[in-house]
Structure 1
Amino acid sequence: MKIQELTLTAPYLSLDPIFYHKVAPAPLQNPKLISFNVEAAELIGLDPAQISDEELIALLNGTRLLNGSQPYAMCYAGHQFGYYVPRLGDGRAINLGGVNRWNLQLKGSGQTLYSRQGDGRAVLRSSIREYLMSEAMHGLGIPTSRALAIIGSDEKVAREKWEKGAIVLRLAPSWIRFGSFEYFFHAHKHQELEHLADFLLQESFPEFVGVEEAYLKMFGEIVKRTAQLIALWQSVGFNHGVMNTDNMSAIGITIDYGPFAFMDTFESGYICNHTDAQGRYSYDNQPRIGYWNLERLAHALSPLIPAEKLESELNKYGDYFTTYLMELLRAKLGLDAPCEKDSDLLRSLFTLMENGRIDMTPFFRTLSRYNGNREQLLALTLAPNQLNEWLNQYDERLLLNTSSTELRHEKMLRTNPKYILKNYILQEAIDAAEKNDFILVNDLLTLAHNPYDEHNEFERYAGVTPLHHTNLKLSCSS
């Protein structure tokens, strides 16, 4: 399908005007196409062969609206670093409408009613990071928003310094957040709260429409999806950085990539956001914060669902998280079936990774080919004696496997990625893009989509992170 044949719908606009603000995108000066994601185009029925750069630029820059498009920003509230903010909303994002169950949104497209004192813009570095990370998470099998394309410009945007403005066109099955429900609950607008719940049921949980206790079942599914999402984050060392309730998806996908990071050397208390002085959103705190955020959502839904039933579903979070995380970690170690002592084996592994300053990604990838020869693994740690002791336990545990060594290796290589888009790698692409060289952005898009493949030409990105780039912290404007 050609761009001009694409027709969007905007069912969200059937809700009361308090839910949104209609606003047109504000074009950037001298826009230029940085990257186009063929995979995302196919999600919405576009034929990449029939799309010109000029059409993409016009779409992202807001100078050409698609058929049926009625641009709008969504209203919501949220708890930011534990404190309730009564109205936030899309301050620099504008929704275009939906097609094929994907909702299109421009990020960095200008001011809205909810921009507060912001300029409604996004800078090049943050836009490249979100564009690539959305696709990298998808490549790892982690539920996420997607990204169709990114444009840069000559427009100057003020952050810590003057930077170039950019826009990403991102996609999601839903952009409703925990904070969307909080807004109407705390404003005592319970009828609108019910309308929002009905809309989310229709949009994202149609299997519960017309079913007894539909709201409760929907909440239970949100609890489960959130627990499983955070288990996936933990399994690959992903630190979101800003788990405010306005950044928590009501359908359990990763959204709003700001000061995120994939860990380099394992550090359980790693904080990727230098704004987070207290470590509220540290790596090891993410599971607890997931539960805390769900408590806020449960409170917001309390006019629609009895409190004891909400609590009953909420109490399943811990079991969902632990069960799924153990399943993921066993797969990373190539273990056939659960064993009583697996939790001890895993706990000791993460202790030695921290003590030995082990880089998670190359360690698990190297372990995926382990056949008794320890030389390559021991080269990855500053605590070789401790790793040797752990490998003795691992060898004993592998004796309980029923599959062959070859099959274990094959499965582990499909489970443990060779390539993770760490911050220093993304920064290389950003530095080049700021000089109008977009080759690495597009090369990293290929890596993002295929993180388990070899890609010999990018072997330099598969090793241990250089020491001076390890576990960097970023700002909220990143």
Structure 2
Amino acid sequence: MKLTDLTLNTPYLSLDPIFYHEVIPTPLKNPTLISVNPSAAELLGVDPAQLETDELEALLNGTLLLEGSRPYAMCYAGHQFGYYVPRLGDGRAINLGSAEGWNLQLKGSGQTLYSRQGDGRAVLRSSIREYLMSEAMHALGIPTSRALALITSDEKVARERWERGAIVLRLSRSWIRFGSFEYFFHTHRHDQLEHLADFLLRESFPQFAGEEDGYLKMFREIVKRTAHTIAQWQSVGFNHGVMNTDNMSAIGLTIDYGPFAFMDTFESGYICNHTDTQGRYSYDNQPRIGYWNLERLAHALSPLVTETKLKTELEKYGEYFTARLMELLRAKLGLEGVDENDSDLFRSLFTVLENGRVDMTPFFRTLSRYEGDRKALLALTLAPNQLDEWCDRYDKRLELNTASTEVRQEKMLRTNPKYTLKNYILQQAIDASEGGDFTLVNDLLTIAQNPYDEHHDFEHFSLPTPHEFKNLRLSCSS
């Protein structure tokens, strides 16, 4: 199927007008297509071989509306850095409609009712980061929004400096957020709150729709999915950077990629967002903030379900998170079965990584080939004696395995990526793109989608991050 044969539908517009604002995208000047993601096109049933540059540019730039499209921005509220903001909404994102269960959204497509004095635009650097990172997370098996294509333009956008405007076309199974429910709860619009819950049930949790305790079961699933997603973040050293409730997906996805980072040197208290002066959204605080955000969601759902029942489900969050993280870490270390000392083994490992200023990604990749010789591992740390002692414990734990070393290594190499898109790597693609060279963006898309492969031409990106680029902090500005 061609892109222009795609028909969209807009079920969200069946809700009351207070839920949204219909608005036409504002085109950028002289758009240029940077990159297209064939795997995302296939999600929509579109043949990648039939994607035409002119049609894609027009779709992303808002000058082509597909059959059935009625563009709109969504209204929601949210807690930002712990403080409630009564109305936020899609200030620079416009929804086009849905197809094949995927909701299409243009980010950077101009002002909406919810822009709050903003220009409704996104800049090239942040758009490249989101485009590539959403695909990288998907390839790592982490629930996430996806990205179809990316354009830039001659139009200048004012941030800390003048930058090139850009638009990315994002896909998600749902764009409903924790803050969507907060908006209708705090404005005492409980009928609309119920309508939103019913819509989410139909859209994302149809197995619970129509059941007497459907709302409670939906909340239980949101708690579990959120816990599992954050456990996956922790296992790969991902720091989201801005876990406001308006950035929390109601179906447990990773969305709204802003000042994120894959950690370089492991730091438990790492903060990737320099706006976050108190460290609210630091790496080690992400699990706690996930729980805090779910508390806000439970409070917002309290007109529909008694708070006692919601609290009972919420208290399972820690169990879900811990069980999933332990499962992930056993896989990363190639451990079979369960041992009562595993949690202590994992904790001590991360202490050793932090003390030795170790880069997580190459460490776990190197560990995937471990068969007793520790030289390669010890070369990665500034505290070799500590790591050597930990390896003694690791060797003893491996004795519980029944599979061969070769089988363990094969599994670990499929679990521990050789490449993660660290910020210094992304910055190289951004710098080249700002000069008009988009080659590295497309090379990084290939790497992002195949993080366990070798990519010999890009071997340098698998090495520990150069010292001068380690653990950079970014701003929310984009």
TM-score by length of 2: 1.00
Establish whether residue 215 from structure 1 lines up as the match of residue 211 from structure 2: no
Secondary structure of the structure 1 residue equivalent to 2:94 = strand
Establish whether residue 461 from structure 1 lines up as the match of residue 464 from structure 2: no
| Cα distance in 2 for residues equivalent to 1:3 and 1:117 | 34
Establish whether residue 415 from structure 1 lines up as the match of residue 412 from structure 2: no
Corresponding residue for residue 339 of structure 1: 339
| Cα distance in 1 for residues equivalent to 2:49 and 2:140 | 27
Corresponding residue for residue 146 of structure 1: 146
Runs of 4+ in 1 over 4 A off after TM superposition: none
Q: How many angstroms does 1:212 deviate by?
A: 2.5
Corresponding residue for residue 41 of structure 1: 41
| Cα distance in 2 for residues equivalent to 1:176 and 1:209 | 17
Q: Which amino acid in the other structure matches residue 106 of structure 2? A: L
Corresponding residue for residue 244 of structure 2: 244
| Cα distance in 1 for residues equivalent to 2:4 and 2:427 | 35
Deviations 1:306-360 (A, max 9, x none): 1110000000000000000000001000001110001111110000000000000
Number of paired residues? 478
Corresponding residue for residue 56 of structure 1: 56
Q: Which amino acid in the other structure matches residue 440 of structure 2? A: L
Deviations 1:197-224 (A, max 9, x none): 0000000000001222000000000000
Corresponding residue for residue 444 of structure 2: 444
Q: Residues 259-278 of structure 1: matches in 2 within 5 Å?
A: 259-278=259-278
Secondary structure of the structure 2 residue equivalent to 1:414 = helix
Corresponding residue for residue 189 of structure 2: 189
Corresponding residue for residue 108 of structure 2: 108
| Cα distance in 1 for residues equivalent to 2:64 and 2:6 | 12
Corresponding residue for residue 350 of structure 1: 350
| Cα distance in 1 for residues equivalent to 2:307 and 2:33 | 50
Q: How many angstroms does 1:26 deviate by?
A: 0.2
Corresponding residue for residue 304 of structure 2: 304
| Cα distance in 2 for residues equivalent to 1:363 and 1:49 | 39
Corresponding residue for residue 20 of structure 2: 20
- Which segments of 5 or more consecutive residues in structure 1 lack a partner in the other structure? none
Secondary structure of the structure 2 residue equivalent to 1:84 = strand
Establish whether residue 173 from structure 1 lines up as the match of residue 173 from structure 2: yes
| Cα distance in 2 for residues equivalent to 1:92 and 1:357 | 39
| Cα distance in 2 for residues equivalent to 1:7 and 1:320 | 39
Secondary structure of the structure 2 residue equivalent to 1:73 = strand
Q: Residues 86-165 of structure 1: matches in 2 within 5 Å?
A: 86-165=86-165
Corresponding residue for residue 386 of structure 2: 386
Corresponding residue for residue 2 of structure 1: 2
Q: How many angstroms does 1:4 deviate by?
A: 1.6
- Which segments of 5 or more consecutive residues in structure 2 lack a partner in the other structure? none
Corresponding residue for residue 257 of structure 1: 257
TM-score by length of 1: 1.00
| Cα distance in 2 for residues equivalent to 1:17 and 1:201 | 20
Q: How many angstroms does 1:182 deviate by?
A: 0.1
| Cα distance in 2 for residues equivalent to 1:169 and 1:344 | 44
| Cα distance in 1 for residues equivalent to 2:154 and 2:338 | 56
| Cα distance in 2 for residues equivalent to 1:4 and 1:316 | 46
Q: Which amino acid in the other structure matches residue 38 of structure 2? A: V
Secondary structure of the structure 1 residue equivalent to 2:79 = strand
Q: Which amino acid in the other structure matches residue 51 of structure 2? A: I
| Cα distance in 2 for residues equivalent to 1:400 and 1:477 | 50
| Cα distance in 2 for residues equivalent to 1:354 and 1:383 | 9
Deviations 1:49-103 (A, max 9, x none): 1121001000000001000000000000000000000000000000000000000
| Cα distance in 1 for residues equivalent to 2:123 and 2:265 | 28
Corresponding residue for residue 403 of structure 2: 403
Deviations 1:410-445 (A, max 9, x none): 000000000000000000000000011000000000
Identity %: 79
| Cα distance in 2 for residues equivalent to 1:208 and 1:51 | 38
Secondary structure of the structure 1 residue equivalent to 2:415 = coil
RMSD between aligned residues: 0.4
Deviations 1:446-474 (A, max 9, x none): 00100001111110000000000000000
Q: How many angstroms does 1:48 deviate by?
A: 1.2
Secondary structure of the structure 2 residue equivalent to 1:289 = helix
Secondary structure of the structure 2 residue equivalent to 1:322 = helix
| Cα distance in 2 for residues equivalent to 1:395 and 1:49 | 50
